Structure 1
């Protein structure tokens, strides 16, 4: 059964940003899938490039663990996205504006501002799909957001 770009994107957001479930996130990828954050500098806490479902699973589990239970969670009611299909039916682009509540920075993560205004983080993700799974996900965001 083929999954729509919307279903794939929503599963990705839920497994990653919402629940920080490395197993569920990794299962969205093909066995040889690639997850990239090309703007991340070498040696950053957030991985720049992961190849293969098992490396994605292992590295993201470690990253989510370092974030701890108090990690930032987006406010879905305030956040939004637009999906763009392309001439290639296996490629779609997500244009995302994620809003973190102003009092959501209790862990020092930087996107929310304790006692302050909401913080909006804009990013773009490019998905390449094969057989209903993510073969390549390129995630473009400002690296300082992951400090």
Structure 2
């Protein structure tokens, strides 16, 4: 995981908001929702990830990320 954050800190790509998209999914638990995110960049392909959010008192209490293993390959 540390490799991912090191890579993200050095990332200078520009997000192409016109090509990026997301879908939000609700769950049976009103404090949990799932986001599917495709972030497109102007000079490369999109990066797809899934995030699971758990809220407590209206704030994010827990966040779990799932993304392509190739993003952290060294």
Q: Normalising TM by the smaller chain, what interval?
A: 0.7 to 0.9
* TM-score, normalisation: structure 1: 0.43
SS at the partner of 2:15? coil
Show structure 1 runs of 4+ deviating over 3 A: 63-66
Distance 1:137 1:73, change over 3 A: farther
Q: How far off its partner does 1:133 sit? A: 1.2
Cα-Cα RMSD: 2.3
Aligned residues: 73
Question: CA offset at residue 135 of structure 1?
Answer: 0.9
Please list every run of 5 or more consecutive structure 2 residues that lacks an aligned counterpart in the other structure.
none
Residue 92 of structure 1: aligned partner? 33
Structure with the largest fraction of helix: 1
1:64–1:131: structure 2 CA closer, same or farther, 3 Å change rule? farther
Q: Which residue of 2 aligns with 1:135?
A: 61
Match of 1:46 in 2: 4
Report the CA distance between 1:45 and its aligned residue. 1.5
Q: Structure 1 residue aligned with 2:51, among 102, 117, 125?
A: 125
In the alignment, structure 1 segments of 5+ residues that lack a partner are 1-39, 48-62, 103-111, 113-118
Larger Rg: 1
CA drift at 1:87 = 0.6
Change (3 A) 1:85 1:65: closer
TM-score after normalising by structure 2: 0.79
* Residue among 15, 18, 24 paired with 1:83: 24
Which secondary structure does the structure 2 equivalent of 1:145 belong to?
Answer: helix
Q: Residue 120 of structure 1: CA displacement?
A: 1.6
